[in-house]
Structure formats: structure tokens, C-alpha cells
Amino acid sequence: MFCKFIHKRFSTLSLAVVGSGPGAIFTAKHLMKKHTNIVVDFYEKFPHPFGLIRTGVAPDHQDVKNIEHEFSHILSLPQTKFFGNVIVNKDTPLNLEILKKNYSAVLLAYGAHGDITLGIKNEDCKGCFNSRNFVNWYNSSFDRISNDKIILNKTEDCVIIGNGNVAIDIARMLSKSFEDLKQFDVGDDVLEIICNNTIKNIHMVARRGVNQAAFTTKEIRELHGVKGLNTYIFEDEIKNSFEADSELQVLPNERRQLKRKVDLVKSFDMINNVNQIKKDGRKNLFLRFLNRPKEIISDNTGTISEIIFNKTKLIKGQAVATEETTSIKCGLLFKSIGYKSHSIFDTVDFNSKSSVIINDKGKVSENKVISDNLFVSGWVKTGAKGVLDTTLREAVDTADTINKQIEGGFLKNKTPNYDEINSLIAKSGVKPISFKDWEKVSNYEIEEGKKKGKIRDKVTDINKVFELIKH
Ligand code: FAD
Ligand code: NAP
């Protein structure tokens, strides 16, 4: 279907994509289904494509990471080009103006790579991490924090604030053993640190009740099933969750799903206080509800030692703090309260409250004027919510909008001037990495992994990347 010959001779419709994660690739894929002659070029800040599939999705979720095969097919098509290691923003020589000059349309799909803060005292003291930092670290992302900052062997208690699926990933990674993790693409250095953690008690704390839990049933079931982990709930928090929720409005089609999730949570061991836990040497997960973080206390070394919470009550599904407080002593905190996006071009209308590019079905406005040739997809369109299926659905929505623009004759044919583009990239002082280049690195990782009995052994040093591709 995709013919190199046709593309080279006659293709003039072109799309520049900022980012190469699922939002970018799903949109391109659906666009290319209808327009087989469109040229699609991906500009990606990391040397590798696929965004959070490599740096976010947990190593023991290889079934999800397998989508890389489908994505690799797209990036191998003759009408697509991958410019890895090339950041695009208002300050880079390759900016929006240049992309618009060279391409029929531009798609912004640069995801959500910022942190949300709690806004409470001491939240950045030693031992406190944003989920993104910790996830990037265990996934050996090129922008990970250094190993010496990850000290997991000085405390028996850690708190995770938030109970979304990222919180579940973190709890699972901290609970699994070397035997559980060694076959995946976890770096040797990460394996050593994470599997030698001294954490005995993981307190996952949500400000709302059981009915509002952000995790999905599949993920909480998986965590519940981790060997060597006891799972507990607190009787008063469960009781208060339901009493307060007597007016809970749930759509009939969601009721069964919610019931399944709640029933699963209720099957955890119910306790009234931590003294009732089994003394069997296993790790413990405490699924806590109705507690909102108030303050973090640090010790004389500046390390977290305790978190104070306001007990909350639910009003119309929202957590309202009461005067009553409780506290958890701990030496580690993971703030797993979501990711947020940011604006990279001043002219593109951005809603800084919801951290998304303002759009109508993927169509973007610049300085409040709807643009004919500027689009958005992925988490920078929707906010940092949703599994891959959600990102796929939204990408199809954006692809449909671009299609309409093409069919309506609103997009001008443009063949990118690669001399200009390459010279601007060179001006930034970076060497771009093509998809063929990246495949060499990826194949090397797989081969090195095989020697160690794991799926892949990730390269983490950019110099090694260039050595492997011999630029
Ligand atoms: P991203 O995947 O973040 O892709 C954006 C890309 O843009 C990145 O490659 C980034 O490097 C690049 N970029 C950013 N800024 C620039 C710039 N200025 N110039 C050039 N490039 C730039 N979903 C599931 O279904 N199953 C899971 O198990 C699962 N696990 C997850 C685990 C975590 C920790 C997280 C955070 C999410 C997980 N998801 C999972 C959700 C899934 O990862 C997202 O739905 C999806 O990745 C969103 O795609 P995106 O393209 O919008 O963003
Ligand atoms: P999320 O699902 O939005 O969960 C965020 C959690 O943080 C919620 O419990 C939220 O509570 C809490 N929170 C937010 N602000 C808070 C505050 N100020 N104080 C206390 N708690 C606060 O986000 P996520 O876990 O980062 O996941 C992002 C998306 O990726 C989700 O859609 C998730 O499903 C997806 N994902 C999927 C998988 C998978 O499929 N396996 C894995 C990882 C991620 P409230 O609900 O009260 O706001």
C-alpha cells in the first residue's frame, strides 16, 4: 500500500510532528491510511522514539511495550522520517515558524512531562520524589536522576500519595523481587538498588474514598497478586467512604465496573490499626482513603520523617478536609499525583489551568485565531489521563480533523526543504538520529539483553548511542 516510488515522485502533502509517542504515531497511522502519499516527519527530543512506552510503562508490562513493533513499522515506512535527539520549542532554531514554512501542517504531540506539586511544606526535602522522576529512573530514561539520589535502603516505611495506576506501578516495582524483575528491561544498576530496598510497609494514600479510587481493576488486582505482599484496608476508612457516598451518582454502565473494583478492594484484609498485621515477614501494602496531605516533617538531616494528613469527608464526591489529623512516619515519599504538560510556543493558545493546548477536535488556535494547519494529539491535547486505548481514540479524532482539512483543500502541498532543516538542526549543535540509527541501538540492546537472560539491556549513555551508530 505504501509505495516508495509514488512518494518520492509525487508526494507533496507533508506533516511535521513534534514528539514520537503514541499520540504522534497513532495520529500519523490513521492519517496515512487515507492519504498514502503524505510525508510524515517526527521530531523527537530523545534519541529514541515511542515516548512513555519506553520511559513510562513499567518494565513488567511488556504486553503494553510490545506496541513498539507496530510503531516501528510506521517509522520504517518510506514516507516517514524520524529526527531523534532534536528538541523543538520557541527557543530552538527549528521552531514552529520554520516547521509551518516547510510542511503542509504541524502536529503537536509532545505529551506531558512536568510535575504537579502538592503545595505543602517540605515537599521537596530529601527522600521525596515525584512519580515521574522515579518512573524515569527505573525505566533508565536518558533524563533520569542519578543512582546516588535514589536511597531505598534506609527506611522500612514509604508513602505513596495518590492511587492512580502510576502509584500502583511504583508500589509493584517496590514489592517485586529480583526473581520477578530480572528478565525484563530493568538496568542492572536499577535492579540492584530496587531489589535491595528495605521497605516493609507501603502506605498508598488517597484523599478521596474507595468509589473514587483512580486505579483500574486490572492494575489493583495485579498488585494484590504480587507474591510476598500482604494487602490491607482500614475499617473506618472503608465505612466512611460508603456512608459519605450514599448519594453517589454512577452511570448504569459504569456501575458494574465500579462494583467489581470496590469488591476487590473490600477483599483485602480489613484492620483497625497497624498492630493487627500478620507477622509473616512479607511486605505490607496499606490502601488508605480519606486522608489529605497537610505537612511533611523532616529530621535534622533534612530527610522526610513523617507526613501529617487531614482526615477528609466526602461532599459530592470531593474531599473536604476536617480538623482531625493523622500521621504516618516514613523515610520515603512518592508523590504520584499526575503529570502535566506545558506550553512550548508562545503563540499557541494554552490553558495553563488544565495544562492542555486549547483545541477543537485537535484543531489548534494561535493568538486566538483558529489555524488551518496546526493540530494537537496525545496528552498535550487531553491532559495526562488515559491508557493507550484512550490516546488512540483521541488520535483518531485528530486524524479525522486533519483529513477534513485535506479534503476541504485547506492544506497546501509543501515539500520540506531538508537542506534548511538539517542546517538549522546543526545550528542547535545536535546530531539527529534516524530511525535506522535507533534500530541499531535497539538491536544492540536486545542482543546484550539476551546475554544476560533479559528482554533488553538499555543503553543509558548518549555517547554510547553515537558510538553504536558511528556518526
Ligand atoms: P508521550 O508518550 O509522553 O510522548 C510524547 C513524546 O514527545 C515523547 O517522546 C517526548 O520525549 C517528546 N517530546 C516532548 N517534548 C518535546 C519537544 N519539545 N520536542 C520534541 N519532542 C518532544 N497506558 C497503558 O495503556 N498501559 C500502561 O501500562 C501504561 N503505563 C503508563 C505508565 C506511566 C508511568 C505513565 C505516565 C503512563 C502510562 N500509560 C499506560 C499511558 C500511556 O503511556 C499514555 O497514554 C501515552 O504515552 C500518551 O502518549 P503521548 O504521545 O501523548 O505522550
Ligand atoms: P491519575 O490516574 O490521575 O491519579 C492521580 C492521583 O493523584 C489520584 O488518586 C488523585 O486523587 C491524586 N491527587 C491529585 N492531586 C492530588 C493532591 N493535590 N493531593 C492528593 N492527591 C492528589 O494519574 P496517574 O496515576 O499519574 O496516571 C495517569 C494516567 O496514566 C491515568 O489515566 C492512568 O490510568 C494511566 N496509566 C495507566 C497504566 C496502566 O494501564 N497500567 C499505568 C500507569 C498509568 P483524586 O482522584 O482525588 O484527584
DSSP 3-state of 222: helix
Strands 283-288 and 229-234: parallel
Please write the tens of the pLDDT for every residue from 216-240. 999 999 999 999 999 999 999 999 9
Please write the tens of the pLDDT for every residue from 138-149. 999 999 999 999
- pLDDT for res 2: 43
Distance 331 CA to ligand 2 centre (A): 22
**In testing the pocket of ligand 2, which one of 136, 207, 381, 388 has its CB within 8 Å of the most ligand atoms?**
207
Weakest-pLDDT range from 27-36, 236-245, 440-449:
236-245
Shortest-distance atom of ligand 1 to CA 61: 28
Burial of residue 419, with CB atoms counted within 10 A of its CB: 0-12 exposed, 13-18 middle, 19 or more buried:
exposed
Task: Give percent of the chain above pLDDT 70.
Answer: 96
Please write the tens of the pLDDT for every residue from 253-304. 778 889 999 999 999 999 999 889 999 999 999 999 999 999 999 999 999 9
Bigger pLDDT: 60 or 259? 60
CA distances to 216, 241, 258, 326 from 313, in Å? 23, 8, 20, 14
Q: In 36-77, at which residue ranges do the beta strands (DSSP E only) sit?
A: 39-43
Distance 340 CA to ligand 2 centre (A): 11
Residues 6+ apart with CB under 8 A from 443: none
Give the confidence band of 9 by pLDDT, cuts at 50, 70, 90: very low
Q: Average pLDDT of 110-122?
A: 96
Mean pLDDT over the full length of the chain: 94
Q: Average pLDDT of 173-202?
A: 97
Bigger pLDDT: 246 or 82? 82
Ligand 2 and 371: CB distance under 6 A: no
| CA neighbor of 317 nearest in space, from 238, 242, 217 | 242
Task: Give percent of the chain above pLDDT 90.
Answer: 91
CA distances to 19, 108, 394 from 111, in Å? 7, 9, 13
- pLDDT for res 254: 77
DSSP 3-state of 361: coil
Ligand 2 and 160: CB distance under 6 A: no
Ligand 1 and 106: CB distance under 6 A: no
Distance 52 CA to ligand 1 centre (A): 4
φ, ψ for residue 41 (rounded to 5)? -115, 125
**Largest Cα–Cα separation, the chain:** 74
Q: Whose CA is nearest to atom 12 of ligand 1?
A: 19
Q: Average pLDDT of 167-188?
A: 97
> Contact at 8 Å (CB) between 254 and 262?
no
Residue 87 pLDDT greater than 80, yes or no: yes
Ligand 2 and 212: CB distance under 6 A: yes
DSSP 246: T
Distance in angstroms (rounded) separating the CA atoms of residues 414 and 436: 25
> Contact at 8 Å (CB) between 354 and 340?
no
Q: Whose CA is nearest to atom 28 of ligand 2?
A: 385
**In testing the pocket of ligand 2, which one of 61, 121, 165 has its CB within 8 Å of the most ligand atoms?**
165
- Ligand closest to Cα of 293 equals 2
- pLDDT for res 249: 64
Q: Whose CA is nearest to atom 23 of ligand 2?
A: 338
Distance in angstroms (rounded) separating the CA atoms of residues 203 and 232: 10
Angle between helices 435-452 and 462-469 (to 10 degrees): 110
**In testing the pocket of ligand 1, which one of 110, 133, 344, 348 has its CB within 8 Å of the most ligand atoms?**
110
Please write the tens of the pLDDT for every residue from 410-438. 999 999 999 999 999 999 999 999 999 99
Ligand 2 and 206: CB distance under 6 A: yes
Distance 109 CA to ligand 1 centre (A): 9
Q: Whose CA is nearest to atom 38 of ligand 1?
A: 57
Please write the tens of the pLDDT for every residue from 40-51. 999 999 999 999
Ligand 2 and 164: CB distance under 6 A: yes
* Sheet (strand 283-288) strand order: 128-130, 332-335, 157-161, 201-205, 283-288, 229-234, 269-271
Q: Average pLDDT of 98-120?
A: 97
Q: Average pLDDT of 390-404?
A: 97
Which residues lie across from 269 on neighbouring strands? Answer: 232
| Region at 156 (left for phi over 0; alpha for psi -120 to 50; beta for the rest) | alpha
Residue 3 pLDDT greater than 60, yes or no: no
Residue 471 pLDDT greater than 70, yes or no: no
Q: Average pLDDT of 364-373?
A: 97
Q: Average pLDDT of 96-114?
A: 98
Ligand 2 and 112: CB distance under 6 A: no
**In testing the pocket of ligand 2, which one of 115, 166, 257 has its CB within 8 Å of the most ligand atoms?**
166
Ligand 2 and 161: CB distance under 6 A: yes
- pLDDT for res 322: 97
Residue 344 pLDDT greater than 90, yes or no: yes
Q: Whose CA is nearest to atom 36 of ligand 2?
A: 165
- pLDDT for res 251: 64
| Region at 351 (left for phi over 0; alpha for psi -120 to 50; beta for the rest) | beta
Give the confidence band of 245 by pLDDT, cuts at 50, 70, 90: low
Residue 91 pLDDT greater than 80, yes or no: yes
- pLDDT for res 316: 86
| Region at 15 (left for phi over 0; alpha for psi -120 to 50; beta for the rest) | beta
Q: Average pLDDT of 104-126?
A: 97
Q: Which domains does the chain have, with CATH numbers?
A: 4-113+341-433 (3.40.50.720), 116-339 (3.50.50.60)
Give the confidence band of 7 by pLDDT, cuts at 50, 70, 90: very low
Distance 112 CA to ligand 1 centre (A): 7
CA distances to 17, 180, 224, 407 from 246, in Å? 47, 41, 27, 51
Ligand 1 and 25: CB distance under 6 A: no
Distance 23 CA to ligand 1 centre (A): 8
Distance 8 CA to ligand 1 centre (A): 31
Ligand 1 and 52: CB distance under 6 A: yes
- pLDDT for res 242: 84
Ligand 1 and 45: CB distance under 6 A: yes
- pLDDT for res 351: 98
Q: Whose CA is nearest to atom 11 of ligand 2?
A: 162
Distance 50 CA to ligand 2 centre (A): 21
> Contact at 8 Å (CB) between 213 and 206?
yes
- pLDDT for res 224: 96
Give the confidence band of 1 by pLDDT, cuts at 50, 70, 90: very low
Q: Whose CA is nearest to atom 32 of ligand 1?
A: 57
Ligand 2 and 21: CB distance under 6 A: no
State pTM to two decimals: 0.96
Q: Average pLDDT of 434-454?
A: 98
Distance in angstroms (rounded) separating the CA atoms of residues 426 and 423: 5
| CA neighbor of 425 nearest in space, from 82, 194, 108 | 82
Cα radius of gyration (the chain): 24
